[in-house]
Amino acid sequence: MTFSHPSFGALDPDRIIIFDTTLRDGEQSPGFSMNLTEKLRMAEALAELGVDVLEAGFPIASPGDFESVESIARTIKGPVICGLARTGGRDDIARAGEAIRPAERRRIHNFISTSPLHMKYKLRMEPETVLQAVIDGNTLARDYTDDVEWSAEDGSRTDPDFLCRCVEAAIKAGATTINIPDTVGYALPEDIARIFTMLRERVPGAEKVIFSAHNHNDLGLAVANTIAAIRAGVRQVECTINGIGERAGNAALEEIVMAIRTRHDALAWHSGIETPKILRTSKLLSTITGFDVQPNKAIVGRNAFAHESGIHQDGVLKNAATYEIMTPESVGWTKSSLVMGKHSGRAAFRDKLRALGYGEIGDNQLNDAFRRFKDLADRKKVVYDDDLVALVDDEVMRGHDRIRFLSLDVHTGSKAKPRAELELEIDGAAQSAVATGDGPVDATFNAIRDLFAHDAVLRLYSVGAVTEGTDAQARVTVRLEENGKMVDGQGADTDTIVASARAYVHALNKLLVKRARTEPKALSA
Ligand code: KIV
Ligand code: ZN
């Protein structure tokens, strides 16, 4: 590759650009929405992980989306900050341009469908009108930034000749990255390889742009298709942490990165990802969204490095390489280590948080987290790193909440009707309520409803454990629905009922953030 890219300058031809869309394609899937604080925390973690491009959202979708892209552009240093826009929408492109303006390096990513099916039924546009929109949209985007990406939505099901014409038009209009998404996860690896090989051979100007792959996982092929794309000359891959995304998800960042690292013998490329930070980033996303990855998930699942059978255990003890193709440490797994006990001081606590990958935490959050740590150390024999991570993520994420949990006493048993005495801080004022219910959790949720009336319906209640043992912290997820809007809240505590109250309050806060946003326009991406 001989040209100079507007954001990356002269590119190392062996370098794969990691384009993370966890906060856009990932966040737009049901149940995965995040509030501003959560998006900022996640963006910070992605920057620390070393992603090259961070797609922060879809600014035209709602004022809330605009605000989060703008805040990320203003505060997150390192990656190119990218905002999504529809190619045909002048307002879309202008909003994206405004939202990314504060970033040091910024990109507009505009997209329009090019497949016969999408053009006829979704867009109701003739191919020639779509082609003109590609020219106009990319020309306009260049008014806001030199780093412009264009995507042919449903590109893998697009007529090859028309795809070539659109790509040529986008390049002429100023696009510097050309992304061909397999929007519906339909393609096989050989289809993906054929498409990129064709574009690179046939399109005039192809040598002046970076080609990018964006694969969905409907057939479980997203990562395989991404590897096929790299082999066919693609130098940017679009992916998400834990593979979250529309329907079956997007290609998982951690799987692509570790595939090219582990199989460097066959895949002679490299990325800028700091792989020991992968697990931490994956766990943060699970804490924020309330969705744990399945135990057998590659790289980040609980069992990814667990060896159950005697034969395997014996082999690993003699030489780990017998059954481990990469070391657990290379992706961030460590032996769960002891943290300080209840006599440890604030400075040691702060040091420990730094070692766990938390940057600077504000004094108020640190004090609150430290108080909860002391409380936990009083109640729990052994405090592990995972306990601390659950506790601090809980605290850091709740920084701007209108409703805060203060205390809970529950009286329950086989005879008495369960009764909860709850104290919450609502808009800065402490308030308390006593309520009964069909169980301690029900009583607690009734007390919350008494203190903060709302119509949301409980759709899911689930309990997991942060670590092992009967004194482990419970991690509770609560899903609430109001007027078709769904939010998930999380809470962790050694007391399952307290964790439930925290999770409910968290979900309620997220609902308040959602309410504050105006209705998103009808969008398709
Ligand atoms: O899957 C898709 O086609 C997309 C585009 C907006 C890039 O997410
Ligand atoms: Zn997508």
Between CA 169 and CA 205 the distance in angstroms is 10
Distance 397 CA to ligand 1 centre (A): 29
Distance 153 CA to ligand 1 centre (A): 6
Q: When comparing pLDDT for 381 and 248, which is higher? A: 248
Between CA 280 and CA 356 the distance in angstroms is 8
Which pLDDT score is estimated for 354? 77
Q: Are 108 and 145 in contact (CB under 8 A)?
A: yes
Residue 238 Cβ < 6 Å to ligand 1 = no
Residue 183 Cβ < 6 Å to ligand 1 = yes
Compute the CA torsion angle 281, 286, 289, 291 (nearest 10 deg): 150
Atom of ligand 1 nearest to the CA of 250: 1
Chain-centre distance for alpha carbon 175: 26
Mean pLDDT of the chain: 90
Q: Are 195 and 180 in contact (CB under 8 A)?
A: yes
Between CA 401 and CA 396 the distance in angstroms is 10
Q: How far is CA 44 from CA 76, 169, 311, in A?
A: 6, 36, 42
Distance 312 CA to ligand 2 centre (A): 39
**Helix 90-100 with 63-75: angle, nearest 10 deg:** 40
Between CA 11 and CA 17 the distance in angstroms is 10
Residue 151 Cβ < 6 Å to ligand 1 = yes
- Residue 359 pLDDT level (bands cut at 50, 70, 90): low
- Residue 326 pLDDT level (bands cut at 50, 70, 90): very high
- In 3D space, the residue among 219, 220, 202 whose CA is nearest the CA of residue 211 turns out to be 202
Dihedral of CA 265/269/272/275: which sign?
negative
- Tell the CATH superfamily of the 15-29+41-275 domain: Aldolase class I (3.20.20.70)
Residue 525 Cβ < 6 Å to ligand 1 = yes
Chain-centre distance for alpha carbon 471: 30
The string of pLDDT tens digits covering residues 119-129 is: 999 999 999 99
Atom of ligand 1 nearest to the CA of 25: 8
What residues have a C-beta under 5 A from ligand 2, the ion? Answer: 25
For residue 158, is pLDDT > 90? yes
Distance 27 CA to ligand 2 centre (A): 11
| Range scoring the smallest mean pLDDT among 58-62, 260-264, 474-478 | 474-478
For residue 91, is pLDDT > 70? yes
For residue 31, is pLDDT > 80? no
Which pLDDT score is estimated for 524? 40
Atom 1 of ligand 1, nearest CA residue: 183
Atom 6 of ligand 1, nearest CA residue: 525
Which pLDDT score is estimated for 523? 40
Using CB atoms within 10 Å of the CB of residue 61, give its burial: 0 to 12 exposed, 13 to 18 middle, 19+ buried. buried
Ligand minimally distant from the alpha carbon of residue 92: 1
CATH class assigned to 403-515: alpha beta
